Amino acid sequence: GCKWQLQKLRRYLTAKHGAETVETLFRDIDNIFIRSLQSVQKVFINDKHCFELYGYDILLDEDLKPWLIEVNASPSLTASSQEDYEMKYRLLEDTLNVVDMEGRLSGREKRVGGYDLMWNDGPVYREDFSLDSLGSTCFTANTHLGCVNDRKKHLGQLKAFSGQKRA
């Protein structure tokens, strides 16, 4: 299939449908991520020495309503193009930064590289009463899904914090 960077897709949809419609779409996608993770939260292995990467397949209908097709545990990291390779390389680099084997994170971060951090009782969501298909209460994430992400800036902040912590 044809792969688009999320930022390119967001720009295209904004030009075609308007900023408000696209904001609603990406909020609804965030809600799908949050609700799907909440639905299996009790069966997650609660071990700080383990992690898993998930890949979400989302279909957009003609009304820009997102539909969750499937969630893949350990999605393929095989690259189909140079751009895909670079995206997956950054994904792995950022994943290892989130795992934080070196102990550089404070626990108060909202973003690490290209990740918006989401966890229970964390800084990420507030109640929102929309998206009826997912239940009575949904959450509007404090995320930057598909937005311009200054990944290097966020990683630079980690390096600066790491230097302060060692001193």
pTM greater than 0.85 (yes/no): no
Better-predicted residue by pLDDT, 128 or 73: 73
Residue 61 pLDDT grade (very low, low, confident, very high; cuts 50, 70, 90)? very high
Average pLDDT on 1-30 reads 89
The pLDDT tens digits of the residues spanning 117-133 come to 776 555 554 444 444 44
Better-predicted residue by pLDDT, 144 or 11: 11
Query: Taking CA 86 as the corner, what is the angle to CA 95 and CA 117, rounded to the nearest 5 degrees?
Result: 25
d(CA 19, CA 159): 34
Q: In the 8-state DSSP scheme, what is residue 49?
A: T
Average pLDDT on 150-162 reads 65
- Assess if CATH 3.30.470 describes domain 6-166: yes
Catalogue the E-assigned strands of the chain. 54-60, 66-73, 111-112, 115-116, 125-128, 138-141
